[in-house]
Amino acid sequence: MQLDHRAQTLLKALVERYIADGQPVGSRALSKLSGLELSPATIRNVMADLEEMGFVASPHTSAGRIPTPRGYRVFVDTLLTVGPIDDKAVDAERMRLPQPLSNLQPQKLIANAAQMLSSLTQFAGVVQSPRRESVFQQIEFLRLGEKRILLVIVDPRGDVQNRLLLTDVDYSPAQLTQSANYLNQNFAGLSFDQVRARLTGELQQLRDDMGRLMQAAVEAGSEAMAEGDDMVIAGERNLLSVTDLSSNMSSLRQMFEMFEQKTGLMQLLDVSSKAGGVQIFIGGESKLVPMDEMSVVTAPYAVDGRIVGTLGVIGPTRMAYERVIPIVDITAKLLSNALSHS
């Protein structure tokens, strides 16, 4: 439903005031804050309409009103004025980072970005580790004992993943070498999905035992690459001092479960990376946010122009979005630049 200028102005004033002090906002205060020359009765009528449309709500204990998740959504999508980022604060954070950034390992850059997000906002910063390409450069099989084989996978960047294979057949070292050579000579530089598709036809020409070993290696390799997706979180403790998120044991339990399990958070970051640009997920509106009082502001980051992950800030729904949005945006750009030159 389209709001007229008067309703938009009053909703914007209400949300900004509520974010600032956390108290329900009454008609008298709105009259001063909005700059509109309206009588308290007129303002009460507009607020009653906004409440009926689901943009504001009245707590039982007060005559004032507070924004609902739907009200926050209208605010961040259409009414918010994003200010310029505090360059001095960003520069101060950058000076705390080891220089030059291009000499740092990717994982260290990611940890620094999470810390920067947390320090600048005083909330929690989260950075999803870059998604691994499921491409291998080299595979080796090492016999550990009877029917126990260590699969060693080296990706194009030189990172190594190990997986234990428990087999039905006891393979000799010669068979393991032959299988590794076959995979490396025919499939190095391909993804495990591509290898799986091409192996299906070619395995019929190989002995069954060797074929089963290669299939097991492809499945284990694909799983190993998928497990590389993780995240770095900094500043979780900051959220303990946010009354909206830590006012009762139920809220605290929900918050710590989210940080411990990470599954929902990973799903949210994955969705964000596909959307592009800064995204705002509001608790009570988005099913991906586990708490009504929580919001997550995210932005994707890239390596050499290709999106590989997402970063963001986790905080209360009652956050200063006009400050947090540019911080998330600039941090994504800084991390993209540093990773592209590392």
In terms of domains, do 116 and 258 share one?
Answer: yes
pLDDT digits (tens, 9 = 90+) for 114-161: 999 999 999 999 999 886 666 888 999 998 888 889 999 888 777 788
Task: Give the number of domains in the chain.
Answer: 3
Are the C-beta atoms of residues 85 and 330 closer than 8 Å to each other?
A: yes
CA-to-CA distance for 84 and 322, rounded, in angstroms?
9
In terms of domains, do 332 and 239 share one?
Answer: yes
In terms of domains, do 150 and 112 share one?
Answer: no
Determine the residue type at 61: T
Residue where one domain finishes, among candidates 196, 226, 256: 226
pLDDT digits (tens, 9 = 90+) for 251-280: 888 888 888 878 888 888 888 888 778 999
Residue 301 is inside which H or E element, if any? strand 294-303
pLDDT at 70 over 80: yes
Average pLDDT rounded to a whole number, residues 54-82: 88
In terms of domains, do 239 and 307 share one?
Answer: yes
The CATH number given to whatever domain includes residue 158 is: 3.30.390
The CATH number given to whatever domain includes residue 290 is: 3.30.450.40
pLDDT at 203 over 80: no
Average pLDDT rounded to a whole number, residues 64-72: 93
In terms of domains, do 15 and 69 share one?
Answer: yes
In terms of domains, do 321 and 335 share one?
Answer: yes
Under DSSP, is residue 57 helix (H, G, I), strand (E, B) or coil?
strand
Q: How many C-beta neighbours within 10 Å does residue 216 have?
A: 17
**Mean pLDDT of the chain, nearest integer:** 84
Which residues form the domain of 188? Answer: 138-226
Average pLDDT rounded to a whole number, residues 170-181: 89
C-alpha pair distances (Å), 196 with each of 62, 86, 200, 222, 232: 64, 50, 6, 10, 32
Are the C-beta atoms of residues 282 and 315 closer than 8 Å to each other?
A: no
In terms of domains, do 107 and 236 share one?
Answer: yes
**Residue 67 confidence class, pLDDT cut points 50, 70, 90:** very high
pLDDT of res. 159: 74
pLDDT at 95 over 70: no
pLDDT of res. 257: 84
CA-to-CA distance for 204 and 195, rounded, in angstroms?
14
Residue where one domain finishes, among candidates 79, 98, 115: 79
pLDDT digits (tens, 9 = 90+) for 38-60: 888 898 899 999 999 999 999 87
pLDDT of res. 87: 67
Residue where one domain finishes, among candidates 189, 207, 226: 226
In 3D, which of 324, 176, 144 has the Cα closest to residue 238?
324
In terms of domains, do 41 and 111 share one?
Answer: no
CA-to-CA distance for 304 and 190, rounded, in angstroms?
20
In terms of domains, do 251 and 106 share one?
Answer: yes
The CATH number given to whatever domain includes residue 27 is: 1.10.10.10
